[in-house]
Structure 1
Amino acid sequence: MSAATATRRLVAVMVVAGVLAGVAVGCGGPSQPEPGFSRADAVVLVRCNVPDAELWIDERFVGQVSSLAGGVAVRPGRRRVEVRHHLHHTFYEQIELGTREQLTVDAVLVPVLP
């Protein structure tokens, strides 16, 4: 067997071992929450008439509203929600969330006049 063939076989064995290890880890029981998140977190779902508007919570950028269909996990308590778009007036709302509470915010953005 040539050195190149041996190297290819070794790489193939390593790839298969890596895949099997990944499957074993994925089947290891209940998943843990991501670091920084808690099962006590609340969830905010934002709906907006401007799909490419940006969601900001407590002065921090979260993402485009259209990419957050499942909602956003936040710590319980008082939160400031902003929905921004450069061609529209910003929407603001103060919300109060309890442990594991789910809340939907309907943001209607009004176009800026020329």
Structure 2
Amino acid sequence: MITAVDHVQLAAPPGSEERLRAYYVGVLGMTELPKPPVLAARGGCWFQAGAVQLHLGVEADFRPAKKAHPGLRVTDMDAYATRLEARGAAVTWDDDLPGHRRFYAEDPVGNRLEFLEPVVSPFGPGG
């Protein structure tokens, strides 16, 4: 039985690790995880925030994911969007998902990332 998502992997071009670290740690506020030595030799980086892990793996014929993406839940959506913009990340708001506020951003190699926060009605469920 599947019980949880362990991690999501995105691709990245060779030699992009420092840009990825600057973005995922410096902009998004994630923590870099050490990769096991046998996997570290392949390049790439792993990041974590709470229970969420994103792995960025090197792909020689890299093409950024423009449609496929992880959906990352955040708290205090406006403050988080402001954080990203203050650190140079472009934020594109989208109002098309009922019951959620959300925006999209791209990592430094062009992968699409979705950030969302459920809208809580002051009247409770169904409110």
Does TM, scored on the shorter chain, surpass 0.5? no
| Larger Rg, first or second structure (1 or 2) | 1
Between structures 1 and 2, the one with greater strand share: 1
TM-score, structure 1 normalization: 0.27
